[in-house]
Each structure stands twice: as structure tokens, then as C-alpha cells.
DNA sequence: TAGTTTTGTAAGTGATTACTCACTTTTAGT
DNA sequence: ACTAAAAGTGAGTAATCACTTACAAAACTA
């Protein structure tokens, strides 16, 4: 990976997240990155190839996050870490994950990288087990609920990313998943 | 509203939902609707004007749904109806609401019609009150939780719209909001 | 150092796109 | 029936876009 290739990748990511894939011309990416437009096509073949490279990065980063959750010992810690995941994601690389989430609604990319991939299935499995260990009656459904909650939380974070709001919401959510709550 | 104007609106809605705003040329809309391309601009000035007209429809339809929820007598019925809202939306006019949700992530339209508008604020207020009546300790936060849940549910419905799945999920969610559950 | 591959550039190019314009047809008010 | 406004058409047009090509510089290999 040469310096300029990486620069193109980062610039494209930033611009795609800010303005969307279709509304960001390759000429703009080149200009912003300070390289010739042709270089984009030398390295990534297509505009779509550029996006695919970004998506591959996403896959890797997410896999790392999931790995760290799976490594936790306590089932409750795993669940809490999962709740915290979107906050962590956005605080670290906001634009990057924003792009990921917006892609869910684009037909073009829903078939490829967003289809439940390895790390997602692993996380679901691990969290199901965590619920089971905690004595929940319907662990599979609880996972689904948690997934929905996290999706919704991500949406909220995009629209209201204030520190205070995040803190409040997180602690409220965690209080819903505590040892002394009923498990029906 | 002439017949052809309405035809343009419906066709554009369908195509925008299927293929996205930016990747749907006005020429395609005209061809599919069986009208001349110029007519689109006569009626809606811009391609963006066409989208604005669609967004205005959305506002109206959503307002109707909210009104019917607000009209319910029992607080629990209001909450359950809110949970059912996304299912109702998607079963009735899938493409239409899909477009709405995808727009949340587009900068262009986030400032305009998607900003918490009248009906949304009213619904939040009413549901907050419902939680209060049911004796929940923190009704404001419960509403937020419910909003996130509904966002997440909408996401799920887009990816897995099978009847059985919807039915299961709905009844599970409703069971979480029952009179005999604790309200901490 | 000679030769080869890789990285980089600048200037196109054809296709597509949103939008315009000159014009005709239909509708509606009096 | 006359007329003015509104609805509708079809053939442009300028601009933009993804991508190509011919070529040069740099980096690697022997």
C-alpha cells in the first residue's frame, strides 16, 4: 500500500460519508487528496472498487471489536459491551460508521458486504449464550431485541451525539439489563 | 392535481425507493410514467422539487397514523399501537416508507423534512404520558427506549420481512410492555 | 547500470444528465 | 365561441461524470 493509495482511500471514505457515494465525483476525491484522477482507477479499477476497499476495512475493524467482546468472561459484561458498541464506534470513527449505516439502505451494497457476515453471526451466537447463562427464558428473542435496540441507538447517536445524552441513555439501557431484573 | 402529475409522483416514488434518488434519472421517470420529460419540470420545477412533493405526502400520511394512535383511550393500547406502527407502515406502503428511512442518512434531506416535525413531537408527548399513567419511574427515558426499539424494528423489517418473523417479534415486544411487568 | 515493473500524470472522450425552449393541445372562464 | 391560462411535447444543450490512453518518473531487480 503506497502513501498515495492510502490517501485516496481515506479521502474517499471521508467524502463518501459526508456526501454519499453517488454524489461524490472521482474528480473531487482526486482533487481533495492531491493526486491525479487517473491514479484512482490505476489502484482501484472502478469507483465501485474504491468502495469495496473501504468496505473491506470495515469488515476488519468490526471483527476486531467483536473479538474483544467475545473475549470477556462474564455474560453480563458481554451484553453491556454490546450495548456500548455503537457509542464506541461513533466516538472513534464517526464518519466511517456513518457510511456503514447509510449503506444498509442502498440496494447496491446490501447484497455484498452488509449481508450478515462472519463477525455478526459470531456476536449473535455469543450473546445468545450470554442470555442463556443469565437465565433468560427466550435467549434468541432477547438477542433480536438487543440488536434492534442497538440499531435504534445508532440512529439516535447520529442525530443527537451530545455527551450528556449518550451517557444518560447508556446507563438507562444498562439498567434494563441487570442481574436483579426478571428474565421472562 | 391532474392525472399525469399524480402519475409522475407515484412513479418517482416507486423508482426513488427502488433505486435511490441520485441514481434515478428524470428521463427514466418520464419514460416509466409515459409522459414527456419536460412535464416533470413544468410541474415540479426541479428534480429536488419532485422529492419535496413526495416528502410532503409522507408528512400527511404519518400525521394520520399518529392521530389514530393518539385517539386510543388506554395508555397500554397506545404503546402497543406504537410498537405496531412500523409493521403497519411497511405492510401498507413498503416502498414509500423504505424511502423515508433511507433519507435519514442523507445530509441533503436531514435538515428539512426529517427533522422532528409536528406529528413526531406529538407522539412522543402522548407516549410519555402513557408511560407515566402506567406508573413507570422514568417515562421520558422509556419513550426514548421505545423510539430506539421502533427504529431497530424498522431496520429488521427491511431485511427480513417474513410474516412469521414479524408476528413472533411483535408479540415478544408487546410482552415486554405489559401491565404485570415491573416499572423500574 | 540496464531492463522491467510499478506508480504516477495530463489531457482527452463518449455517454449521461438535469434542465430549457419553442411550440401545440387541452381546459376553463365569460 | 373566444380567449387566456394551463398542460403537455420533443428536440435540443451545456455541463458533468466515470473512465481511457499515451506517456513519464520512480522503484525494484539482476
Average pLDDT, chain B: 89
Domain covering B1-45, topology: Arc Repressor Mutant, subunit A (1.10.10)
The predicted structure's pLDDT at residue B58: 85
Cell readout for B75 is 395508555
CB atoms near residue B107 (< 10 Å): 13
The predicted structure's pLDDT at residue A40: 98
Residue with cell 464517526: A94
CB atoms near residue B110 (< 10 Å): 14
Q: Computed over its alpha carbons, how large is the radius of gyration of chain B? A: 19
Report residues of chain A scoring pLDDT below 50: 110-114
Cβ-contact A183, A136 below 8 angstroms = yes
Distance from CA of B3 to the nearest CA of A (A): 30
The predicted structure's pLDDT at residue B111: 46
CA-to-CA distance for B79 and B62, rounded, in angstroms? 16
Distance from CA of B1 to the nearest CA of A (A): 31
Nearest to A147 by CA among B140, B157, B78, B183: B157
Looking at the complex, does the CB of residue A104 fall below 8 Å from at least one CB of chain B?
A: yes
CA-to-CA distance for A165 and B156, rounded, in angstroms? 25
For residue A19, give the 3-state DSSP assignment. Answer: helix
pLDDT tens readout for residues B127-183: 999 999 999 999 999 999 999 999 999 988 887 778 888 888 999 999 988 876 656
Of B64 and B110, which is predicted with more confidence?
Answer: B64
The three-state DSSP-derived secondary structure of A77-112 is HHHHHHHHHHHHHHHHHHHHHHHHHHHCCCHHHHCC
CA-to-CA distance for A165 and A16, rounded, in angstroms? 27
CA of B55 to C1' of D7 (A): 24
Cα A155 to its chain centre, rounded Å, is 12
Residue with cell 482526486: A30
For residue B143, give the 3-state DSSP assignment. Answer: helix
The predicted structure's pLDDT at residue A113: 42
End-to-end CA distance of chain B: 52
Domain boundaries, chain A: 1-45, 57-178
The predicted structure's pLDDT at residue A134: 94
- C strand bases under 7 Å from protein CB: 7-12, 16-22
Q: Could you tell me the pLDDT band of residue B63, with boundaries at 50, 70 and 90?
A: very high
pTM value is 0.90
Cell readout for B36 is 414527456
Nearest to A148 by CA among B86, B21, B61: B86
pLDDT tens readout for residues B97-110: 888 888 877 766 64
Q: What mean pLDDT is predicted for residues B83-109? A: 83
Share of chain B above pLDDT 90, in %: 65
Q: Is the CB of A3 under 7 A from strand C?
A: yes
Nearest to A147 by CA among A165, A180, A125: A125
Q: Is the CB of A52 under 7 A from strand D?
A: no
Amino acid at each position: 500500500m503506497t502513501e498515495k493509495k492510502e490517501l485516496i482511500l481515506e479521502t474517499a471514505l471521508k467524502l463518501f460519508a459526508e456526501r454519499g457515494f453517488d454524489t461524490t465525483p472521482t474528480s473531487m476525491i482526486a482533487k481533495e487528496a492531491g493526486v491525479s484522477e487517473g491514479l484512482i482507477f490505476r489502484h482501484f479499477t472502478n469507483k465501485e472498487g474504491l468502495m469495496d476497499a473501504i468496505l473491506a476495512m470495515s469488515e476488519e475493524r468490526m471483527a476486531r471489536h467483536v473479538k474483544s467482546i467475545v473475549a470477556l468472561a462474564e455474560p453480563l459484561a458481554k451484553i453491556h459491551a454490546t450495548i456500548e458498541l455503537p457509542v464506541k464506534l461513533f466516538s472513534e470513527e464517526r464518519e466511517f460508521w456513518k457510511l456503514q449505516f447509510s449503506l444498509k439502505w442502498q440496494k447496491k451494497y446490501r447484497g455484498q458486504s452488509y449481508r450478515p457476515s462472519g463477525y455478526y453471526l459470531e456476536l449473535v451466537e455469543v450473546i445468545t449464550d450470554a442470555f442463556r447463562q443469565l437465565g433468560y427464558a427466550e435467549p434468541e428473542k432477547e438477542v433480536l431485541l438487543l440488536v434492534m435496540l442497538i440499531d435504534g441507538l445508532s440512529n439516535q447517536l447520529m442525530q443527537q451525539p451530545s455527551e450528556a445524552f449518550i451517557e444518560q441513555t447508556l446507563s438507562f439501557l444498562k439498567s434494563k439489563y441487570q442481574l436483579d431484573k426478571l428474565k421472562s
